[in-house]
Structure 1
């Protein structure tokens, strides 16, 4: 088995992301491997990412910039919740098709393991959206650990 030098954890910034990152931290500690969080913003299919977003008293910005900035702030907040000491985790936001961007990040970063959450969608939602986890597992250059993320019901 190849040496586990780095772990990549793609997160969708849902409520379950914190549990996934905490789960991944156990592996990182066991293997003394650094953990990198990645969030992929996938541009909407029918809206140009350079579409300008504006509001009164606000400088107009591209949809992509607004989305990436917002995702980055949420990713920083997530990393701060689990990082001991603060700043110990690496994290970044990338733009692209989700599965392809995850695979590219794993290869370029020479990650030895991907820990990926799955929502377990069934039926029409899975048919329409596909499964990011399935695509990553099928094409990854390294082992992929999938963790089923249960939706919290109140």
Structure 2
């Protein structure tokens, strides 16, 4: 297997994202591989993403713009915690998470994906699906998954 040079790290910006990125940094270091941290925002199916969000004193802006600005701030904070010797970049995508990750991995020339899995079982997995499972089944490159326990 060739050594990784570009690692994609999809995160949901929930608890555990820092642990996943830390693992990816440790994995990338010996290979001097670059890391790109990615978050996919999926618009709610019951609300149009161009719905205007407003509060007193704010200029109205679309739900999508508001969500992406919040996600960018969270990504900046996450990446800001790391002083890595290799480059860490970030990317925001709009769309269903598994499809977005697979598209970015393929078109971006990534040779490894490092991501978390919540390990849901039973009805929650049936209802929510498994993003990790979809990516593992369809990725063109190796996928390393880390179990991230759900907050109790």
1:5-154 matches, cutoff 5 A = 5-84=5-84, 88-151=87-150
Instruction: Provide the aligned length of Structure 1 versus Structure 2.
Output: 152
CA shift for structure 1 position 45: 1.1
Decide whether the 8 Å contact of 1:4 with 1:31 is kept in 2. yes
- Mapped contact 2:28–2:35 kept (Cα < 8 A): yes
Q: CA deviation at 1:150?
A: 2.1
Structure-2 separation of matches of 1:84 and 1:97: 29
Q: Distance in 2 between matches of 1:61 and 1:114?
A: 33
Distance across 2 between alignment mates of 1:48 and 1:8: 29
**Unaligned 5+ runs, structure 2:** none
Q: CA deviation at 1:152?
A: 5.1
> Aligned-pair distance for 1:84?
3.3
Q: Please, which runs of 5 or more residues in structure 1 have no aligned partner? A: none
TM score, norm. by length of structure 1: 0.93
TM-score by length of 2: 0.95
